[in-house]
Amino acid sequence: MPYMNALKPAIPFTSARSRPFVSRQEVRCAVRFPLALPVVLSSGKDEIAAITRNVSASGVVFELERPVLAGLEIRFSLRMPCAVLGTPHDVLVHCQGRVVRCQKNQSNYQAAATIDDYQFAEQ
Nearest to 72 by CA among 93, 47, 91, 100: 100
**Mean pLDDT (whole number) for 45-54:** 96
Is residue 38 assigned to a domain?
yes
Is residue 86 assigned to a domain?
yes
**Full residue range of the structural domain in which residue 90 is found:** 33-120
Is residue 66 assigned to a domain?
yes
**Residue 85: per-residue pLDDT:** 83
Is residue 18 assigned to a domain?
no
**Residue 19: per-residue pLDDT:** 42
Is residue 1 assigned to a domain?
no
Number of domains in the chain: 1
| Burial of residue 46 (number of CB atoms within 10 Å: 0-12, 13-18, 19+) | exposed
Instruction: Give the CATH number, domain containing residue 115.
Output: 2.40.10.220
pTM listed for this prediction = 0.73
Among the residues of the chain, which ranges form H helices? 82-85
Give 7-40 pLDDT, tens digit per residue: 333 333 333 444 444 444 444 567 888 999 999 9
Share of the chain above pLDDT 70, in %: 75
